Structure 1
């Protein structure tokens, strides 16, 4: 079985801000999941629902009555009339049918939904933070690639200026201008990439407070389930039915369906038990009067149900059907997202292999040949610059493919997340560094 969560797999050996003050991929995910306030709120909600379930199963509080009855208004003498008495009574109501047990069951079902929602939240946060970290990584590595080639372009500018200044040089004024223009464009690209990196890190700070700059190697992620094979849609549908978000909706459907049974209890009478003890005074002759005890039951008659009980029941049935529709829509959405991400991963793997095996080596050979030809007076300056720019763009494209592939895998692993029975947490893929 796959590891329970990336949070558990990535123990924090040092907090961000320590050592090199760089936030690694594993640290970002671990901190974001551990410090997510939504999870704390869900735990409080679960505890509240559990307490409400206990309270819902209890009888209503009994009502106590203390009454002075039938006092004569002419003298207010306690012993003047035989009907005069002090009465103490207690009244206990019993809710309709099995409504107490059903109310408790419904609250317990809603409480059982919270761990599934937390499992979905952990998987969602893992995917979100992974993609934000990868965005920052892409910008940072692109900056390093450009800065690495910038020194070569500075040399080309110097060579073009020196060749133009020399009477025997082959460089022309357009070559000098072209070299300086490309250097300026590189500076502009660096500025845009730094802007991208700053934006990604600021968005990451929403999940990881005081994160600082990102750092570390590119993680190695693989899908939880092989997605390159041609499975029928029914297999993916069954796979996604175990997603924590879907399971949470299943529990919600059960809770709403319990509301149907609860609505049916409204057709049953509500019972009440009443007992009272009446204390009477002495009669005018000084003889004791017998105290009185009263006991009885009461119940209502739900006879006119057309606009109350019938409507309450039909509303509960409609609410259940609406929740089932919500689950169908969620499953349809998840299946579509999974199929789209799966196809994207297949194409990205193809492009990745093409870049690694053919395009990057060919671009490198072309750039080296063009530069050597320029220095040996076998090609012009523009061709050498174009070849070098093309190689740099190919490196950045290859980096974008690597990052986009990992972002797609992070999304896939959210879609493929499940809830192991022994942990109650979603299974997500462990990241290992290259």
Structure 2
């Protein structure tokens, strides 16, 4: 069984705890939005008023009462509705953050898969060519022993040295492969990461760029999920400005109190008492409180708008840089596949034939084989690098114009 890239991406996304955490955060914010829009709890008071301190007799004085009171506070202006709307907007950020996380995980896991593929293919190339170098060593040793090909002792040493270098390269590549698998294991689990990846790069990473990539303008990048999340944040900051305006309005409260009076000492009934009233504060001295908070909220709103502009510029620059790298890599890959590698193979075959015919230098034959092997390994690296850049380009140009496909229950246990 070999690891397909699509399977790796699906497993990484479904096992990502961040996505489940985001769902929990969104659910918590939606619950809080309901609480934010609710009136504060009323206050109930119980007490005794006007007790005589000489006897504490409740029937001695006419003013003595047992009281029960009720008070209700009404927050300033539309602050309740605005606070509820703010929390809902914050909850609305989470679907776009999850969408951004999903495509970011796709990019990251693709990079790691390609690193495993690059190391695996490079190891395979060296293993396949080791036999050729061993054959060269045998030819040099046979020629030196028989003295029929003009072989020298240094040819035998050179062949042994190159085999040692190949072993060193294999050791380094196995180390890189193990490191890449450990990194991939963070996303799909260590057991799955130990499996070999497929021998071929998925076709979607070899496709050309979209014809309209050059039209990656600002209006297109505004649909990126990270930008949509920032748009939600801007809406939150705008509500903060509205909330700061509400601080200039008074906060109201109403209260009612019932006072029970005991009978007079002579047995005469006394009327119970009832009090009612309203209260409000006076936001008069606003210079160092309301004005300052309003200015701060307005500054945060402008800062969020600036951050959005910087995000778009960053996405655009990185997308264009990725395209430039892909175009250059495509040119180099084409050159290697169509011209350079065939020529190197011809050169290596010619050098080996000349040496076998006692008409060439052993060192030249070895250098030609090494150059051919290095070119093959470099081509593998370029293909992997090309796939990485295409994965990054796809992340940077993700279109989240539709509603993100992440419900509150999709990632819940």
TM-score when normalising by structure 2: 0.94
Question: In the alignment, is the contact (CA less than 8 A) between 1:228 and 1:346 conserved in 2?
Answer: no
Mapped contact 2:256–2:277 kept (Cα < 8 A): yes
316-325 or 371-380: which moved more? 371-380
Instruction: Kindly provide the CA deviation profile for residues 323-371 of structure 1, in whole angstroms up to 9, marking residues without a partner as x.
Output: 1121111111111101100111111111111112111222222222222
Confirm or deny: 8 A CA contact 1:92 1:273 kept in the other structure: yes
Q: Which residue of 2 aligns with 1:358?
A: 339
CA distance in 2, matches of 1:112, 1:225: 35
1:424 equivalent in structure 2: 405
How do residues 5-404 of structure 1 correspond to structure 2 at under 5 angstroms?
A: 20=1, 22-210=2-190, 211-216=193-198, 217-222=200-205, 226-227=209-210, 231=214, 235-404=216-385
Tell me the equivalent position of 1:6.
none
Cα separation, partners in 2 of 1:214 and 1:240, compared to 1, 3 Å:
farther
Aligned with 1:399: secondary structure?
helix
Any conservation in 1 of the 2:22–2:98 contact (CA below 8 Å)? yes
Deviations 1:198-228 (A, max 9, x none): 1111121222222223311321225999456
Structure 1 segments unaligned to the other structure (5+ residues): 1-19, 426-434
8 Å CA contact 2:95, 2:404 repeated in 1: no
Following TM superposition, the consecutive aligned residue runs of length 4 or more in structure 1 with deviations greater than 6 angstroms are none
Name stretches of at least 5 consecutive residues in structure 2 with no aligned partner.
407-413
Give the structure with the higher percent helix.
2
Which deviations, in whole Å up to 9, do the C-alpha atoms of 1:143-197 show, x marking residues without a partner? 1000100011101101101110113232111211111111111111111111111
Q: Look up the SS of the partner of 2:188 in the other structure.
A: coil
Residue pair 1:352, 1:398 contacting (<8 A) in 2 also: yes
RMSD of equivalent CA atoms: 1.7
Residue matched to 2:409: none
TM-score (norm 1): 0.89
Q: Residues 370 and 328 from structure 1, CA distance in 2 versus in 1: closer, same or farther, beyond 3 angstroms?
A: same
